[in-house]
Every structure is written in structure tokens, then in C-alpha cells.
Amino acid sequence: MMIDTLKVLINASEKAARIARSCCEGATDEVLLVAEKGEGEANARFDKDFKTIADVLAQESAKNEIATFSPELARNTRGEECSEIGGVSIKLQENWEKTAEMLSLLVAPNVATRMSAAAHSSIELSLDLPEDLPSIDINDLGVWIDPIDATAEFISGVRGQAKTGRGLPCVTVLIGAYIKSTGEPVMGVINQPFYNNGKGRIIWGVSYGTTKEWGTTESKSDSESNIVLMSSAENPEIVNKMKKANLEVKSVPGAGHKLLKVALGEAGIYIVSKGTTFRWDTCAPHSILQALGGDIVSYSTYTPITYNDPEDVDTQQFCNSDGVIAYSDIKVFENIKKILT
């Protein structure tokens, strides 16, 4: 059952990725519906936080992929985005024509048709996955989805307005599963839809008991353990500590993008001291990093992040309020702790 669940999470990530890519197949001046998030839904880090119709449709389509496999798992699936945008509640209809008709209430018919076709497409990925994964109680699983992480970069990229080193390559789809009874992450998928001019790449991981498995559609880099990833808004005192220790501090957009780089060995560690990431940002990468021998822990306490938050709380309660430190090599983490203290 675990291998089947992993395949579904991978397929769900690719469905979301296809929807994101469908927004780039037309002219850059096509209207991509963008809405400002309301109070309680927005990330407090930003003066204004936005979502697009692609975010919402990608999340609903990923949920639908999961629901086809297991209605119970779908009921325990949560995501970053509210399903309403522009006064319309987004839900996959019985066929692509009906979904396109619904989307046409919000965007031009040609855009709606492309997005609907992506949402209703069938996924046939050929990945080398281990068939000997242990069984797992699907009734004790929950899922977190971030359908399009780095939305601001997605918007600027679709519009052809992104700066060098930013834009679409920084976009990721994050889908992770956790044990509801303990909050521990167990499976994760990071999909980078626009990698290699839209070819995309996927990295997945399983961390369950003694089972530690991971894989990627692209080769993993040699570890750049000297590189520390941080937000451009990070505390200058922390940045200076890293630089004084002869570490190279880099700032790249997107929490998922930073975590992907750590998982692939393109950076040694990701540090954020503030509560600017959420469960949907870290759940998927967490399992992957654990499978690699790393972890995601609280910046303040060095204890692992857990994911079984109550469902009936404000969205801001899903914040990793004590910050995070993410790493794939325990030696790198131990060195960072010495520097910080």
C-alpha cells in the first residue's frame, strides 16, 4: 500500500505541474487571474500575498487524484489554498468541457481550455521506484499540499517579467504525507515543473521506521556543504555569523526551491529564524531529507517539525513559528549549531 500511495502523490504532483505549465503556453499578455489573499489566509511575511487560478486548480486537481485512489486519504488532505477565487469555488467537473466552462467565468476561454485539459490529463510517469516498501495504515495518514510554491515568481515568470535567476525555475509543487497519530513525515515529493526549459524534474523520499528510500529523475549533485541558503529578509546578525565562519550565504526565492537545493546537494543547509514557512512548505521535503540522513528541525529548539495540527484552527497556526533548519548531512548541522551558539 505504501508504494501505491507514493505513486499517487507523485502523479498528483505532476498533475499540478502540468496545470502550472499550461499557463505558459500562450502569450505573456494573457490574463492570469491573480487574487490577493484575505486576512488569515495570507503569509504575514508579505505586505500582500497572492494566489492565482492556477494555484487553486492545481490543488483541487491534486486532491482529486488522491481521492480517486483513496477517498479517506483525500478527506485527510490539506493544502495552502482556499478553493474559492474571484467569487467562484473551483472544483473539477465531470469532464474537461465542463471544467473549462467553469474556468471561463474567470479567464479567457483559450486559457480555460488549456488549464482544463491539463487538469483532466492522464498521468503515465516511468520512475524507478522500490517495490518492497512496507505496508502502512492509510487511515492514519494525512497529506499537505503546496500546489505552486513561489507564487510571486510564477506570476512574474508567466508574464515574462522575471529577473535573472528568478521566475519559473524557482517554482515547485510540494506534496507530503505524515502519520496523523504522531505527526511524523513519512513520504514526500518535490516537483520542479519548469526545470530544464519545462522538462521538469521530480525528487521523492520515504522515511518510515528503518525504511529510508529516495530517488530523482535527475542526478544528485556533489554536496555544496559550504553554501547556506537564507531568505533575503533574514536577521543580519545570523547572516554575519555564517559569513564569519567562511560559509557562503545565498538567497534564492521560494521555500520549496531552497529545500530542493538542500535535498539535491546544491546547498548544505537552509536556515530561517522567523515563522515565515508553513507545514505545506516543509512536509514534503522533510521526508526526503530524512531519507538522505538529514532532517528539518525548529530553529529555536532543534526538535523535528511535526504535521498533525488540528484542522479547526486558523491558517496562521500551521506556521513553523519557531523557524526551521533543514539539512541532509548531520555533520553540516552540527557545525551550524556551533556557529549559532
281 is known as an active-site residue: yes
Mean pLDDT over each residue of the chain, to the nearest integer = 91
Q: Which amino acid is at 286?
A: H
231 and 206 together in one domain? no
Classify residue 159: in a domain, yes or no.
Answer: yes
Kindly tell me if the per-residue pLDDT of 324 is higher than 50.
yes
Q: Return the ∠ at Cα 247 (arms to 241 and 253), rounded to 5°.
A: 90
**What per-residue confidence (pLDDT) applies to 50?**
67
Catalytic residue, chosen from 213, 281, 295, 329, is: 281
Checking 103-109 for CB contacts under 8 A at 24+ apart, the result is 103/53, 103/57, 106/33, 106/53, 107/30, 107/31, 107/32, 107/33, 107/53, 108/30, 108/31
211 and 271 together in one domain? no
Which domain CATH number covers 288? 3.40.190.80
Catalytic residue, chosen from 146, 153, 266, 329, is: 146
Instruction: With beta carbons less than 8 A apart as the criterion, state whether 324 and 296 touch.
Output: yes
Classify residue 322: in a domain, yes or no.
Answer: yes
149 is known as an active-site residue: yes
51 and 89 together in one domain? yes
Query: 44 pLDDT band (50/70/90 cuts)?
Result: very low
Classify residue 16: in a domain, yes or no.
Answer: yes
Query: 42 pLDDT band (50/70/90 cuts)?
Result: very low
Classify residue 301: in a domain, yes or no.
Answer: yes
pLDDT tens-place string over residues 201-253: 999 999 999 999 999 998 777 778 899 999 988 999 999 999 999 999 999 99
189 and 247 together in one domain? no
Query: 87 pLDDT band (50/70/90 cuts)?
Result: confident
Q: Residue 149: which domain range?
A: 2-216
Query: 261 pLDDT band (50/70/90 cuts)?
Result: very high
Which domain CATH number covers 212? 3.30.540.10
Catalytic residue, chosen from 60, 65, 149, 213, is: 149
Instruction: With beta carbons less than 8 A apart as the criterion, state whether 61 and 119 touch.
Output: yes
Catalytic residue, chosen from 5, 52, 55, 282, is: 55
Catalytic residue, chosen from 14, 60, 65, 80, is: 80
55 is known as an active-site residue: yes
98 and 232 together in one domain? no
Domain count, the chain: 2
Kindly tell me if the per-residue pLDDT of 84 is higher than 90.
no
128 is known as an active-site residue: no
| Residue that terminates a domain, selected from 167, 184, 216 | 216
306 is known as an active-site residue: no
208 and 290 together in one domain? no
